[in-house]
Chains A and B, each alone.
Chain A
Amino acid sequence: RSSYYTPVTPSNLCKPRRLYISFSDVGWENWIIAPQGYMANYCLGECPFPLTAELNSTNHAILQTMVHSLDPEGTPQPCCVPVRLSPISILYYDNHDNVVLRHYEDMVVDECGCR
């Protein structure tokens, strides 16, 4: 369920956006015992020139925005991607009806950056 929310200061800059993933939405409810869903978030937004510190950018991304500002058609802006994620644990049935508790890395987007 992706619903835009209107932040207090409207911004199209690269940042995490709320995304709640419901496992029944993706058709996994027969396998997953818990959780039923979780706040996974996603990254969306612009990486404009000049890139400011809070946009978590690499040196390469800073150069790319400069080139984009000179030649917008030829060189795109850097991409807004997850740069810090955290894990969650999922309780589920495997294909042999065993109960499994597994720790999955990189499941929640905490921070976005320009790359």
Chain B
Amino acid sequence: RPRESRAPALRFVGPNPPPGAPAPVPAVLWRIFQRRALPSRGDTAPGPSCRVEEFNVPGNIIRVFADQGHFIHSGEPKTFLCLEKRLYFNFSVLEEGEQLTMAQLEINFSHNSYHTSSGRQVFELRLYQALQMSLRGMSSHMYNHKLLVAQSFAQLHKSLLFNLTEVAKGWRTPSRNLGLILEISVGSRDSALALPPRRLQNLCASIDSFLDTSLLVVSLNQKQCQASRKR
């Protein structure tokens, strides 16, 4: 049957099957799905259908966006940065009438904590919002950017979570969605630059376990919620 004739609410079948190996299903989505599909005996009846209890926000659609950004190799000799990466999430799938109610960035590392031989080593993570591309091209610092998060960590847990709800709301306008820039360095800029290059290189090597980033977005499709409320 012609595609148009399908009910819009169930329109997720694309012209082609999803390409390549399917993305892994985030554990948080499995948990929420299973809790809704099979409420355990102790549960009260499922909450209102247009609210995500797990995050305590209104919503009837939860999406996990895969990061489509790329590592930034500025071509200059290695600076004090161990990692410099552009993060980009394609928001074009969000439908008109959907209201974004939460956005949470997750940065995953492949193992839990870093033990450096010479005692405690502190890494610094900075997250910038890319505001405007400068005329000179794609290197991270060619963007006007705004610092969103600056956090130091020594003992690292598997993943870091950041609430980017307000920033993500602005990304509904495609021209304002220039993504983020993630930097991870060995300590502050001065302390890193004071280290011998080889030492810096070794410390950065421990950052190699950087795995991936994803953005969990909760949104509310008013039309579908009102329909049920009206009835």
Could you list which residues of chain A lie within 8 angstroms of chain B, going by C-beta atoms? 27-28, 30-31, 33-35, 87-89, 91-106
Interface size class of B (residues with CB under 8 A): 20 to 34
| Interface flag for B227 (CB, 8 Å) | yes
Inter-chain contacts of B14 with A (CB < 8 A): 31, 94-95
Q: How far is the CA of A91 from the CA of B25 in the complex (A)?
A: 9
Q: How far is the CA of A101 from the CA of B218 in the complex (A)?
A: 9
Q: How far is the CB of B135 from chain A (nearest CB, A)?
A: 29
Chain B's closest residue to A104 (CB) is B9
Q: How far is the CA of A34 from the CA of B35 in the complex (A)?
A: 13
| Interface flag for B29 (CB, 8 Å) | yes
Inter-chain contacts of B104 with A (CB < 8 A): none
| Interface flag for B164 (CB, 8 Å) | no
**Helix, strand, loop or mixed for chain B's interface?**
mixed
Inter-chain contacts of A97 with B (CB < 8 A): 18-20, 22-23, 66
Counting residue pairs across A and B whose Cβ atoms lie within 8 Å, the total is 91
Q: Are A99 and B29 in contact (CB under 8 A)?
A: yes
Inter-chain contacts of B49 with A (CB < 8 A): 87, 103, 105
User: What are some 24 contacts across the A-B interface (CB < 8 A)?
Assistant: A30-B18, A31-B14, A31-B18, A34-B33, A34-B37, A88-B37, A92-B12, A93-B12, A94-B12, A94-B14, A94-B63, A98-B93, A99-B29, A101-B33, A101-B61, A102-B12, A102-B61, A103-B49, A103-B50, A103-B60, A104-B224, A105-B9, A105-B49, A105-B224
Chain B's closest residue to A34 (CB) is B33
Q: Which of B1-32 contact A (CB under 8 A)?
A: 9-10, 12-14, 17-20, 22-23, 25-26, 29-30, 32
Taking A92-B12, A96-B90 as contacts, is the C-beta distance between A31 and B17 under 8 angstroms?
yes
Q: Are A100 and B12 in contact (CB under 8 A)?
A: yes
Q: How far is the CA of A100 from the CA of B63 in the complex (A)?
A: 4
| Interface flag for B228 (CB, 8 Å) | yes
Q: How far is the CA of A27 from the CA of B26 in the complex (A)?
A: 24
Q: How far is the CA of A97 from the CA of B62 in the complex (A)?
A: 14
Taking A34-B33, A105-B227 as contacts, is the C-beta distance between A95 and B12 under 8 angstroms?
yes
